[in-house]
Every structure is written in structure tokens, then in C-alpha cells.
Amino acid sequence: MNTTFSASTAHDLPVPDQSQPHVDATGRVPTSGERALVLGGGGSTGNAWLIGVIAGLFEAGLDVTGADLTIGTSAGSTAAAQIVGATPADLFAATGAAAPAHRPGPVGPDRGRAPASPGANHLDWINAIIAASQDPADLRRRLGAATLDLEAASDGSWQGQWRAIVAARLPSPDWPDRTVLITAVEAETGEPVVFDRHSGVDLADAVAASCSSRLPYRIGDTRYIDGGYRGNAENADLAAGFGRVLVLSPFGGRSLHPPHWGTHLAAQVEELRARGSRVETVFPDTASEHMFGARAMDPSLRPPAARAGYELGLARADQLTAFWR
């Protein structure tokens, strides 16, 4: 959404060393805790749906925004930053107030714009790279290289435009005091990365990087791409060791990766349970799943996606309350 929230008072956090920031927070990921909330990727409609589910649960008396650990990936990273700075009710109301600003596409010499991806569409482009890849690490390297090629054909204006759009969506520019992890991938190396409040990276930059699926987003001297490329759209494996893990997945746990790669959400849930976690997943129902996937960036679908999530949150509230509390 493009609603701009006023900034809240800055949190009293240690001032990071901006000259040599320790960006990857993987070593600081908590290894145990009570409750973890996992917010998966899913484009513009996925973000609206996530907000709707959380608002529906909140309306029914279950507030999941105070989780001990919140993991946000791509659209889920935006939601993770939004829910710690505004009430679920306000966020839900804003999803129907106005359509979000369109994500700027790559800009190049061909009438001012370069193609958004080398294939017929973004999904075809990703599928072709997956088909050529041997494993997830190889996929990340290939995707990073492809986005760097696209960046070379752009005029560089996308970076500032995209950051402004992301920053306008956040209720506060400050990282919260609680543990929020935002995932991304280094474009040059294909290495997975986790941002937190101690990474020396502004919250808006971390979210912009996690949502950057077509062009790499630069922070300092490093470029990053979408956190969904780290493993899958949820990255629920980061919640290992937590007693209760609630996964909200706009894509319904689906993945384009070959099953033998073991990166599907089902495999991560199985591993979490094997290590002692209780896990619940929430997926869009069959009546609303058409709003995700190929149509995930359609801003006109944000209000109905949010409403579908809200109704689902209300419907699942009793069950999830017993689980969460």
C-alpha cells in the first residue's frame, strides 16, 4: 500500500558501525524461544493477505504481532515491518484506502525502459533459470548474475524510486526492539543473508532488498535480491528451536523448485517438527488462491486479498488461539 505513516520515536538501539557493517545476522538468529511468526512472500496481494489474516486474528482476540521472533521474506518483510509500527486494524483499513504505487521497472536506452526480464514474463524467466540450475546454491548464483545483467541495462534511477516506495509503506523507519529477521540474497555471490536491527542497515533498505526480485538493490557496495531466493518464499527454517511456529504463506507452501531440492515449505515444516516445534500453517483458501502467483502484483486485487485474509483469520482464530497461547 502507499499509505504513509508518521515516524515514531526512534528506538534506543546501539549505533552500528556504518563503515564496516556486519550485514549477515545469521549468527545472531535465536536458537530457541516460545513463539515465532513466519510471514511468507507473495507480491502485492500477498502482503495485503498477510495483513488481513493478522487483522482477522486480532479482531477475534488473538494478537500474533508480539511474537518472540518474526521472520519476513519479500512481501512478508514489508508486513513484518508494518505490524510492529501500526495496529493490525489500521493496516487492514489502509489496504482498501488506495492502490499501492507501482514498482518501477528496469530503465534502459530502448525508449527509456529495458525489458523487465529476458523471457516472455517474469515467471517464465525464473522457470528457465531454475531448469538450468543444479541446486539452490546454483540457482541463487544464476539469478544474481541475471539481475546484475539487467542492472547494467538500466539508468540507475530504479534504486531511489524503489526505496521511496518501500519507505512510504512503513509506519516507522526504525527497527523494532523485538527480534525481526528479514531475508535477502547477495546478488554477486548468491549467498543467503539475514538482516536484523544490528546489521548496520536501515529498515527500509532491508525491506527493499528483500522485495527486489528483478533488479538488485544496492546497500553500500553490495547488491541484494529477493529473500524468497534464499530457500523458499517462507524461510521457516530460521524458526528452528522455537516452541510454536505460525507460518502465514500467501503462496500456500507452493514452490517452483524441484521437490528433490528439499526447499519446499512442507520439508521445512517436517524438519521443524522433528526438532520439537509445534507448527501451524495458514494458506489462502481455494476461493482466493487465484489472487496470488501470476496476479500477485495486480494492485486492484489488494482489497479483496486483504478481505479474504481477514475472513480466514476470523475463521481460524479459535484453533490458532489454542495453539499460540
The three cell numbers of residue 210 are 528483500
- pLDDT (0 to 100) of residue 96: 76
What confidence tier does 27 reach under pLDDT thresholds 50, 70, 90? very high
- Please give the residue that has the higher pLDDT: either 310 or 109: 310
Question: What residue type is 177 in one-letter code?
Answer: D
The whole-number average pLDDT for the span 233-256 is: 96
> CA 181, 95, 3: angle at the middle one, nearest 5?
80
130 to each of 118, 136, 252, how far by Cα in Å?
A: 14, 9, 20
- pLDDT (0 to 100) of residue 21: 54
- pLDDT (0 to 100) of residue 291: 94
The whole-number average pLDDT for the span 147-151 is: 94
Residue 44 and residue 292: Cα distance in Å, rounded? 9
Contact 182, 196 (CB under 8 A): yes
Q: How many CB atoms lie within 10 A of CB 250?
A: 35
Q: Model confidence over 86-108: pLDDT tens digits?
A: 999 999 999 976 444 444 544 33
- Please give the residue that has the higher pLDDT: either 6 or 167: 167
Strands 33-39 and 242-248: parallel
Residue 277 pLDDT more than 90?
yes
Q: Model confidence over 40-81: pLDDT tens digits?
A: 999 999 999 999 999 999 999 999 999 999 999 999 999 999
Residue 13 pLDDT more than 80?
no
The whole-number average pLDDT for the span 156-175 is: 94
pTM attached to this predicted model: 0.87
| % of the chain residues with pLDDT over 90 | 77
